[in-house]
Structure 1
Amino acid sequence: MSISTHILNTSTGRPAVHVPVELDFMLEGEWVTMNAAHTDNDGRVKHLLPEGEAMLPGIYCARFATGIYFERENVKGLYPYIEITFFVMPDQVHYHIPLLLTPNSYTTYRGS
């Protein structure tokens, strides 16, 4: 069971490298931080859910610190953070959450 992500800067055609990403889980109406990581040189976090941690059904939120990334790239971005909230269904073994990013827009979808 795993959750992964991949960030592509579609304005440059390159992966978004070293972006801080936090994974939270909704537990009894409160967000609980499961893990914090950074994207690698390919813009990926392959194991956003910590190894050995059970992927429970429920609501998760991946929080991307895109403002830090754009500041490092010397670009003014509109979104300092992007939060993607998603529901994990029972009996699913893998969730991939891609983020396509520009300084002024973003999109996401359920990857494979």
Structure 2
Amino acid sequence: MMAAAKYSPLTTHVLNTGDGIPAARMALSLHRLDSQLMIWNMLSVGTTNKDGRCPGLIGREAFSPGMYKLRFETGSYWESLGQTSFYPYVEVVFTISDREQRFHLPLLMSRFSYSTYRGS
């Protein structure tokens, strides 16, 4: 259920650095922590496009300060390419304090490593 907003204040880009290509057709999900119950609530799911991007993760109206995580289904992605991977999934947890800013969270990955950073 992708957010139906034109503009998402949170974007991601997944790159298969082992092969030097965007990671197309990777499933991912966005979650927010309920700070009272201490449980993760799923906000949206999606799949990266041919450029390794997943637009429309969350609309501005639903984007509030708090702790979030993006879960990337890396194991399934590598399996779809007929390869194995050390990491069955990657979860990146981050905190949003200013909902007016734009946040870009790239994932650079190979079968045996990954890195991420806050982009612009």
Task: Give the shorter-chain TM-score range.
Answer: over 0.9
Of residues 74, 77, 84 in structure 1, which corresponds to 2:85? 77
**Whole-angstrom distance in 1 between the partners of 2:84 and 2:48:** 20
Give the CA deviation at 1:74. Answer: 1.0
- Under a length normalisation based on structure 1, what TM-score does the superposition of the two structures give? 0.93
**Whole-angstrom distance in 1 between the partners of 2:60 and 2:53:** 19
Give the structure with the larger strand fraction: 1
**Structure 2: unaligned runs, 5 residues or longer:** 1-7
Per the alignment, residue 37 of structure 1 pairs with: 46
CA deviations over 1:16-48 (Å, ceiling 9, x no partner): 001001000001211110000000010001221
**Whole-angstrom distance in 1 between the partners of 2:83 and 2:18:** 11
Aligned-CA RMSD value: 1.3
Give the CA deviation at 1:90. Answer: 2.2
**What are the residue-to-residue correspondences of 1:87-106 with 2, within 5 Å?**
87-106=95-114
Return structure 1 stretches of 4+ with deviation > 4 angstroms: none
Q: SS of 1:67's equivalent?
A: helix
**Whole-angstrom distance in 2 between the partners of 1:8 and 1:64:** 12
2:59 aligned with 1:26: no
**What are the residue-to-residue correspondences of 1:1-80 with 2, within 5 Å?**
2-27=9-34, 28=36, 29-49=38-58, 51=59, 53-80=61-88
Letter in 1 for 2:76: I
| Paired residues, number | 111
Contact 2:9 2:60 in 1 (8 A): no
Task: Give percent identity, aligned residues only.
Answer: 38
